[in-house]
Structures are given as structure tokens and as C-alpha cells.
Structure 1
Amino acid sequence: MTVTAYPLQWPTGRKRTESHRRSRARFESTFAVARDELIAEVRRLGGRNLVISTNIPLRQDGLPYASYRKIEDEGVAVYFTYEGQPMSFACDRWDRVEHNMQAIVKTIDALRGIARWGTGDMMKAAFTGFTALPAPNAHPTWRDVLAVSASESNLDVVRRHYRLAASVNHPDKGGSHEVMARLNAALAQAEKELR
């Protein structure tokens, strides 16, 4: 998927805040500070290939101008790769672009805190909600089905992911036969590919 920085490219499937429901945030930040903090926060996280998508025209280096006229849609969408997976964060709750950007900065900082405080497995779980959605006609890979990152190529790790998913989704534990069939097919595909 090619992401555009301008005009705003909102993530597919993410709900928008109606313009009359947007409110003033309490962030004390200029646009330039929020933009620079966002870039720094994504770098600290280990994100790569950052694209900040807004309705603000771009400078020659591809970043949005710090000074801009009032625009109708203040939403901000941020795209980057994290551990080989495409991620997207988006916010349009606030009535200023810099405040929406600052909200994303705070969110990423909180997720980094999860890793700093020793619960990194929770960070992976939290990030599943921010994974950029695939195209509607795309079929999920075995990695998608088993929630295995691109950096994990060990069959034992894949089987551990499978067992964890199966323990929650097995029909005897309230899951469905369809989900178990997808998990079984994903495991078979992973075993075939990694042997």
C-alpha cells in the first residue's frame, strides 16, 4: 500500500470523529514541536519509513509545514513499519492538527513504556490494534493468523504462538471450528515454509 503524506490518507476501516464533535485539547504544543516529537518518538520506538499524513501542504523534505492556514479536516494519520510490520496511528478527536499529532505522540510513548516496564509481550499484543489493515481482497498469511512477527523464523516460536491461539479459540473452550481451521492451516503452512 502506498501512503500519501498530503492530502490526508485516513487508515482504512478506522472510524472518523464527526467535525462537530471535535474539541479543544489541553496540549501546550506548537505544530513544529508536535511534529518533531512525533518523529523522535517513532525513532525511539524503532519505527522506520515514517509518513505523517495530514491536509497540510508539504515542505521540500516531505514534512508538513509548521505554519499553515486553518483547514477543515484536522486529522492526522501516521504510518511506519515496526519489526517489519506496517503500523498506523490516527487521531482526529481534537480541533487542531498539532493536538491530534501530540495525542499520537503520547500514545506511542505509553506503548514504549509498556516495553520499558518489563511487559514487552503486552506491547506486542497492544500493537495488533495499530497494524495497518491489508487491502480488502488480500488473504492473511500464516504470520497474520498466528500473530508471528517477520523477525521470528523459529518453528518452536511459531508452534508456541499456535498453542496460545488454540488454547483460546478451540471449540471446547468457546471458540469456533472456523477459527481453529484457520489456525491449523496456518500452522501447516508455517511448518512447510520453515522446514
Structure 2
Amino acid sequence: MAAARDAAFNEVRLLGGRHVVLSTNVPLRQDGKPYANFPRIEDPAAAMYFTYKDKQMCFACDRWTRVEDNIQAIRKTIEALRGIARWGTGDMLQAAFTGFTALPAPIVAGMKRHWREVLQYGDGRPDAAIIRGCYQRLASLAHPDRAGGSTERMAELNQARDDALKELS
């Protein structure tokens, strides 16, 4: 399991992806790693989310009966796509990636997203300067006075920034 996970994360890194999240139904220890002797689970599906060229991507697989085999299938798919890029057919790579664009999370009334997700912060330790930088970058795009901006998105960014800075103190 660990070897499959590490290899998949490495493929995303080599591709140029960032903010990688691996989602499975495997129970995890407090440090985020799976238990060494986890029992076979009923749903072995795996999904890998990451950011590639400022777009959210999702690769998912549930074809195989073991979680690690589904993770390996995702890794091999990303490896093949990296080959497309190396072989000089980058237009094909962009076309291939359109099918893997992650769907936006549904906005449920009364349910807000975590500040890390809103600010696209990643897994690092919270840092006030980085939080402010993330906020400013996204606020410049989401401001209601800009094309594509909205008051709802700006309000969400403001709340996320406040929550992040509150967590620091």
C-alpha cells in the first residue's frame, strides 16, 4: 500500500501536479498513514486529486479488488500521460486532461468549505504570510468588480482568511 501510494505521489510530482490528496476507504492512523495490517475492505476504490496548471484534477479507479492495485492503475495512467508530454504531443495531453478535470464540490446550504480548500493552501504548516499571499492572489480573481468574480466567492475567501488566521492564534 505504501509503495503504491508513494509511487503515485511521485508520478504526480513528476507531471508537475501539486496539492495531492489520495482518497480511499482504508482506515488511517493519526499520522495519516494506513495501518500495516488493515483488513481487506469492501470498497477498494481509490481517487487521486491534485492541481495541474491551476486546474483541479481527479483520477479515480475501482476496477481492481485491492486498493493498492487501483492506486497503481492511477499511477500508470499518469505515467502514460507524462509520456505523451515527453513525446512532444502536448496538445494531446491537454485534450486528455479535459476528461479528468475535477467537478467542483457541491455547495450545500449552511455547510462551508475548510479554509485550506478555499485558499488552495495545501498540507503545509499554517503561516500568516503565505495565507495572506494565497488570499490576495485569489481575491484579485474573485473580486466582484472583475469579470467572473462574485460577492459570494469574495465572502467565502474573506471568511477562509479569517478562519486561517484565527487558527494560527
TM-score, with length taken from structure 2: 0.60
Q: Give the unaligned 5+ runs of structure 2.
A: 108-145, 148-169
The equivalent of 1:125 in structure 2 is 95
Q: Partners of 1:44 and 1:131 in 2: how far apart?
A: 18
- Pairwise CA RMSD: 1.8
Which contiguous aligned blocks of 4+ residues in structure 1 show a shift greater than 4 angstroms? Answer: none
- From 40, 49, 72, the equivalent of 1:102 is 72
Distance 2:36 2:97 in 1: 29
Q: 1:121 to 1:92 in 2, by over 3 A?
A: same
Query: Which of the pair has more CA radius of gyration?
Result: 1
- Residue identity matched to 1:81: T
Q: Deviations over 1:21-40 (max 9, x none)?
A: xxxxxxxxxx1211110111
Find out whether 1:80 has 2:63 as its counterpart.
Answer: no
Q: Does 1:71 align with 2:8?
A: no
Distance change in 2, residues 1:122/1:65 (3 Å): farther
Which structure has more relative contact order (CA 8 Å, sep 6+)? It is 1
Q: Give the AA of the match of 1:34.
A: A
Contact in 2 for aligned 1:32/1:66 (Cα 8 Å): no
Residue 16 of structure 2 corresponds to residue 46 of structure 1: yes
Count of matched residue positions in the alignment of Structure 1 and Structure 2? 109
Within 5 Å, give how 1:156-171 maps onto structure 2: none
Match of 1:179 in 2: none
Match of 1:35 in 2: 5
Partner Cα separation in structure 1 for residue 9 and residue 96 of structure 2: 20
Whole-Å separation in 1 of the counterparts to 2:36 and 2:6: 10
Change in 2 beyond 3 A, CA 1:82/1:76: same
Map of 2:111 onto structure 1: none
- Cα deviation digits, residues 142-164 of structure 1 (max 9, x gap): xxxxxxxxxxxxxxxxxxxxxxx
Shift of 1:135: 4.5
2:164 corresponds in structure 1 to none
Contact 1:54 1:64 in 2 (8 A): no
Q: 1:77 to 1:120 in 2, by over 3 A?
A: same
- TM-aligned CA deviation for residue 63 of structure 1: 3.9
Deviation at 1:59, TM superposition (A): 3.3
TM-score (norm 1): 0.52
Give distance in 1, aligned partners of 2:16 and 2:33: 19
Any stretches of 5+ residues in structure 1 without a counterpart?
Answer: 1-30, 138-191
Q: Percent identity?
A: 68
